[in-house]
Amino acid sequence: MKKTILITMTGLSMMLAGCGGGQKAPDKQLEADTVPADFKYEVDAFADLEILRYYVPGFKNLNLEQKELVYYLSMAALEGRDILFDQNNKYNLAIRRTLEAIYENYKGDKNTNDYKEFEVYLKRVWFSNGIHHHYGEEKFLPTFSKEFFADQVKALPANLVPTREGQSVDDFIKVITPVMFDAKIMAKKVNQSGGDLIVTSANNYYGEGVTQKDVQDFYGAMKDTTDLTPISYGLNSRLVKEDGKLVEKVWKVGGLYSSAIERIVFWLEKAQTVAENDKQKEVINKLISFYKSGDLKTFDQYAVAWVEDLNSQIDFVNGFTEVYGDPLGIKASWESTVNFKNIEATKRTEVISSNAQWFEDHSPVDKRFKKEKVKGVTAKVITVAQLGGDCYPSTPIGINLPNADWIRKDHGSKSVTIENIMEAYDAAGAHTGFGKEFMWSDVEVNMIKEYGFVTDVLHTDLHECLGHGSGKLMPEVDPNALGEFSSTIEESRADLFGLYFLGDAKLVELGIIPNADAYKAEYYKFMMNGLMTQLVRIEPGKDIEEAHMRNRQLIAKWVYEKGKADNVVEYKVRDGKTYVVVNDYVKLRTLFGDLLAEIQRIKSEGDIKSAKALVMDYAVKVDPVLHKEVLARYKTLNMKPYKGFVNPVFELVQDKDGKITDVKISYSEGYTEQMLRYSKEFSTLPTYND
Ligand code: ZN
C-alpha cells in the first residue's frame, strides 16, 4: 500500500526507449506523442546517485485548459520545496543557502579536491532535501575540509550568510560546522530502533525537549476509539514544548510555513479557474480551505472528494501526505505530483479488473479459500508531469492514497502506476551492461529487450488490481494472525498471483500481452533477481530484511528447490561467473501455482507456524559466496544504486494582449541549473522556522 518506491537500481528491468507499456494505439485525430528517438534520459551522476529526466507523452495532446491546469498545479508542486527541507532538519535551509551562496560566488580554483567534493556534497543535499540520505536516513558527511568551508563562508558578502538575528558569521560557522561534519550529531533523520525515538531522530517534527512519551501521551489522549471517522491526529503540525506545555504549531496560512503555503494556495486558486469539472473544482476548493484553516476534518473532506473524482483526466497530490519521516508515523512530509491519466494504458487495467472473477475462479488455490464474489481494483495508469517535495528528485513508481483507514474502507482509494517514470528507469537501464553481465545468453537478453517492459508493468497491474484482493480468510481467522511475517507473505501472495496468470493464455485472448511466449521475459527476470541480482542491495554479511526483497527470494528459492529434481531452474557457471538458467518455463509456472496455493492456505488459515518456516527457510539468509561474487560483478558496471529525476519545464505562451494561447514543455534544464532556479523562484520561507 501507500507508496511503491522503486529502490532498484539494479537495472532489474531493462528495455529500450520508446517502447510503451502494452497497447498504445494513438487516438486517430491526434498525432501520436511518444518518446522521441533522440531523447536523452541521463542528466548527471555523482556519489551513489544518478539523475535522469522523464518524457511526458501525451502532454501535447491535452486541450488548452488542461495544459493550463497542469501548469498551475506544477507551480503549486514546486512552492512546497522549502517546507520539506525544514521538516527534514531545522538547519537544512541554512546549510543549503550557505552552500548555494558559496557555489555562486566562488572565485578560487575549481580543480582542487576540496572544491570538487564541495560540489558533490551540495548536489547530495539538493537530492536528499537536506543533510540525511534520502533512503538510508543516515547523515552523509562532507568530504571537503572544515577549513575550506569556514574560509568560503568568511569570503561571502555578509548579507549572503544566513545568520540568525544578531549572530556573527564566526558564531554561525561554529554552530553549522558540527551539524554538517560531526558524525555523532543528528546522526539519523529517522531513528527506528533503540532509545527515545523522538529525541534521537534529527527531523524537525518535534521541538526541543519533546520526548517519545510526551508524544504518545499527547496524541494518545486525543484518540477516541468510538469515533468511526477519526481525523489523522497531528498530521499537519510540529509539536513543541512552550513553558513546559505541549502545543501544536500548525502548518497553515497564518501558521508555521505560512509564506510557502500562501504561494501554494495562490496557484491552486488559479488552477480552480480551469478545473475540468465541478467535482475537481470541489477537490481543489477543499484543499485550499484546508491550507487556510489547518483543520484536519476539512483535510478528510478533501481526501474523500479526491478519491471520488474519477472522471477528470488531470489529477494531483499536493499536501502533507506520507508519515515515513516520523518514527511514530504521525507527522506527514509535504509532497506533490501532477499527472494525467494514460487513457490507453488504463484500458489494460480496466480489462484486468472487469475479468477479476474469471481470474479468481481459475486460480490454483483451494476452492475453500476463493472469493465467491470478487471485485477487481482499477488501478489507473498515469503520466506524471511534475514532481515536488518528497516526490522529488527521488520518486515513487506507484501511489496508493489516501492513507486514512476509514476513508479507504468507506470510500476506497486510488492506486496509480506511473508509467512514464517506469519507462525512464527501463530506458536508462538498457545501456548499463547489466543484462550482458548477469544474463545467461543473448536469448534472455533479447527476450527482455523485447518483452521486459510490457510484462513488468503487466505483472505490477496483476499484483495490484487482483493479487492483493484475491482469496478469503476462514471465518474464525484473525486478519493479523501472521504477525511479523504478514507483509512478506502478503506480498508473495500478490506477486505469485501475477506470475501465475502472466503465463496464462487468457491474457493473449484478452489482448493485453503480445503473445504466448512473452511472459518468459518476466519469469526469467524474476528468477535472476530473486536468486541473485537483488543481492546487490545487501551489504556483505547482512540478511535480507525488507519485505519485498524477502518475498522475491522466498518465491525464487522455493521454486528453485522444488524444481530441482526436474532441473526446472539451475545455476550455471561459465568463466568463473554464476548465472541463473531457466530450463522449463511451463513447469516453472506450475511451481508458482503450487506455492500460490500453499501461501493462500497459510493466509486463509492464519497458519503462522508455516508462514514462519517459509520465511526463515527461504527469504532471509544469503549465500555469502554468491553474494560476494554478485557484488564484485556489479561494481565493475559502475551503476548508481539510487536514481532521481529533474522535471520538465513548463512555460505559458501568451499573445500580445496577455491571453494564454499555449503551454510549452521543454526538457533541456540540467540538474544544477534546476536546483538553483528552484532555490530562487520557489523559496519564500525564512531560513529559521522556529
Ligand atoms: Zn503489494
Instruction: Write the pLDDT tens digit of every residue in 634-643.
Output: 999 988 889 9
C-alpha cell at 665: 514543455
CA of 180 to the centre of ligand 1 (A): 37
Phi-psi region for residue 571, left (φ > 0), alpha (ψ -120 to 50) or beta? Answer: beta
Q: How far is the CA of 501 from the centre of ligand 1 (A)?
A: 16
Q: How far is the CA of 467 from the centre of ligand 1 (A)?
A: 8
Cα(470) to ligand 1 centroid in Å equals 12
Q: Give the whole-number percent of the chain exceeding pLDDT 90.
A: 82
What spacing in Å lies between the alpha carbon of 267 and ligand 1's midpoint?
A: 34
* CA of 487 relative to ligand 1 center, distance in Å: 9
Report CA(492)–ligand 1 centroid distance (Å): 8
How remote is the CA of residue 549 from the centroid of ligand 1, in Å?
12
Bridging pattern class, strands 396-401 and 4-5: antiparallel
pLDDT for 13 equals 33
Helix (H) / strand (E) containing 605: helix 585-605
CA of 4 to the centre of ligand 1 (A): 8
Is residue 640 within 8 A of residue 50, CB to CB? The reply is yes
**Span from the CA of 586 to the centroid of ligand 1 (angstroms):** 25
Q: Quote the ligand 1 centre to 311 CA distance (angstroms).
A: 26
Compute, in angstroms, the gap from residue 547 CA to the centroid of ligand 1. Answer: 10
Query: CB atoms < 10 A from the CB of 7, how many?
Result: 16
What is the mean pLDDT of the segment spanning 190-210?
A: 93
pLDDT tens digits for range 339-378: 999 988 889 999 999 999 999 999 999 999 999 988 777 7
Average pLDDT over residues 60-69: 97
Could you tell me how many helices (H) and strands (E) the chain has, helices first?
Answer: 24, 15
**Nearest one of 565, 353, 547, 389 to 469, comparing CA atoms:** 353
Q: What is the mean pLDDT of residues 4-23?
A: 33
Residue 608 Cα to ligand 1 midpoint, Å, equals: 20
681 vs 538, higher pLDDT:
681
Indicate the pLDDT class of residue 107, thresholds 50, 70 and 90.
Answer: very high
Mean pLDDT to the nearest integer, 28-38: 75
What distance in angstroms lies between residue 495's CA and the mean position of ligand 1's atoms? Answer: 7
pLDDT greater than 60 at residue 18? no
Whether residue 402 has a cis bond before it, omega within 30° of 0: yes
Find the 356 Cα to ligand 1 centroid distance in Å.
Answer: 17
pLDDT in tens, 396-455: 888 888 988 899 888 888 888 899 999 999 888 877 889 999 999 999 999 999 999 999
What pLDDT is stored for residue 30 in this prediction?
57
Q: Rounded to the nearest whole angstrom, what is the distance from the C-alpha of residue 472 to the centroid of ligand 1?
A: 16
Task: Please give the distance, rounded to the nearest whole angstrom, from the Cα atom of residue 481 to the centre of ligand 1.
Answer: 18
Mean pLDDT of 522-546: 93
C-alpha cell, 41: 534520459
For residue 345, the CA-to-ligand 1 centroid distance in Å is 20
Single-letter amino acid code for the residue at 458:
L
User: Ligand 1 centroid to 29 CA: how many Å?
Assistant: 37
Q: 468 CA distance to ligand 1 centroid (A)?
A: 7
What's the 557 CA to ligand 1 centre distance in angstroms? Answer: 19
Q: Does 7 have pLDDT greater than 60?
A: no
CB-CB neighbours of 331 under 10 Å: 24
Question: Under a CB-based contact definition with an 8 Å cutoff, are residues 115 and 108 in contact?
Answer: yes
Q: What is the Å distance from ligand 1's center to 496 Cα?
A: 11
Q: How far is CA 268 from the centre of its chain?
A: 24
| Neighbouring residues of 649: CB distance < 8 A, sequence distance ≥ 6 | 665, 666, 667, 668, 669
Q: Hey, is 658 helix, strand or coil? A: coil
> 378 CA to middle of ligand 1, Å?
15
Q: What is the pLDDT of residue 20?
A: 29
Tell me the CA–centroid distance for residue 7 and ligand 1, in Å: 14
CA of 305 to the centre of ligand 1 (A): 25
Are 85 and 96 in contact by the 8 Å Cβ rule? The answer is yes
**545 CA distance to ligand 1 centroid (A)?**
16
**Angle at CA of residue 344, ends 343 and 345, nearest 5°:** 95
Ligand 1: centre distance to CA 491 (Å):
5
- Residue 174's alpha-carbon distances to 85, 86, 170, in angstroms, are 21, 20, 6
Distance, CA 2 to ligand 1 centroid (Å)? 9
Alpha-carbon distance 349 to 465, whole Å? 7
pLDDT value at 479 more than 90: no
Q: How far is the CA of 464 from the centre of ligand 1 (A)?
A: 6
3-state secondary structure at position 329:
coil
Burial code (b: 16+ CB inside 10 Å, e: under 16) for 647-672 equals: bbbbeeeeeeeeeeeebebebebebb
Cell match 472522471: residue?
Answer: 311
Tell me, in angstroms, the distance from the centre of ligand 1 to residue 488's CA: 9
Q: Does 2 score more than 60 pLDDT?
A: no
Q: How far is the CA of 261 from the centre of ligand 1 (A)?
A: 33
Please indicate whether residue 592 or residue 223 has the higher confidence score (pLDDT). 592
Centroid of ligand 1 to alpha carbon of 540 (angstroms): 27
Residue 321 confidence (pLDDT) above 60: yes
Residue 97 pLDDT more than 50? yes
CA distance 336 to 142: 29
CA dist 226 and 257 (Å) reads 33
End-to-end CA distance of the chain: 34
417 CA to centre of ligand 1 in angstroms: 12
Task: Calculate the average pLDDT of the chain.
Answer: 92
Q: Which residue has the cell 527469504?
A: 619
> From ligand 1's centre to the CA of 1, what distance in Å?
6
In the reported structure, the alpha carbon of residue 93 is separated from the centroid of ligand 1 by a whole-number distance in angstroms of 36
Cβ atoms of 424 and 28 closer than 8 Å: no
Angle made by CA atoms 75, 329, 419, in degrees to the nearest 5: 45
Ligand 1 center to 466 CA (angstroms) = 10
Please tell me the distance between residue 527's alpha carbon and the centre of ligand 1 in angstroms: 18
β 333-341/380-389 pair status: antiparallel
Q: Note the pLDDT of residue 28.
A: 45
pLDDT digits (tens, 9 = 90+) for 80-93: 999 999 999 999 99
Instruction: For residue 418, give the nearest of 435, 401, 443 by alpha carbon.
Output: 401
| Torsion, CA 208, CA 209, CA 212, CA 216, rounded to 10 | -90
Compute the distance from residue 397 Cα to the ligand 1 centre, in Å.
13
Kindly report, residue by residue over 136-166, the tens digit of the pLDDT. 889 999 999 999 999 999 999 999 999 999 9
**Main-chain phi, psi angles of 490, to 5 degrees:** -65, -45
Q: How far is CA 640 from the centre of its chain?
A: 17
By residue count, the chain amounts to: 690
Cα(22) to centroid of ligand 1, in Å?
Answer: 21
* Ligand 1 centroid – CA 51 distance (Å): 27
Interval between CA 641 and ligand 1 midpoint (Å) = 22
Residue 448 CB contacts under 8 Å (≥ 6 apart), including other chains: 14, 15, 435, 439, 521, 524, 525
Cα 589 to ligand 1 centre (Å): 20
- HEC per residue, 350-411: HHHHHCHHHHHHHCCCCHHHCCCCCCCCCCEEEEEEEEEECCCCCCEEEEEECCCHHHHHHH
State which amino acid sits at residue 662: D
Enumerate residues 6+ apart whose C-beta is below 8 A from 635: none
CA dihedral 373, 454, 314, 401 (to 10 degrees): 50
pLDDT band at 224 (very low <50, low <70, confident <90, very high): confident
In whole angstroms, give the CA distance from residue 633 to residue 175. Answer: 43
Instruction: Say how far apart CA 624 and CA 543 lie, in whole Å.
Output: 10
Q: How far is the CA of 583 from the centre of ligand 1 (A)?
A: 28
Write out 509-559 in H/E/C secondary structure.
Answer: HCCCCCCCCCHHHHHHHHHHHHHCHHHHHCCCCCCCCCHHHHHHHHHHHHH
Whether 135 has a pLDDT exceeding 90, the answer reads no
C-beta separation of 386 from 77 below 8 A? yes
pLDDT of residue 592: 98
316 membership: H or E segment, kind and range: strand 314-322
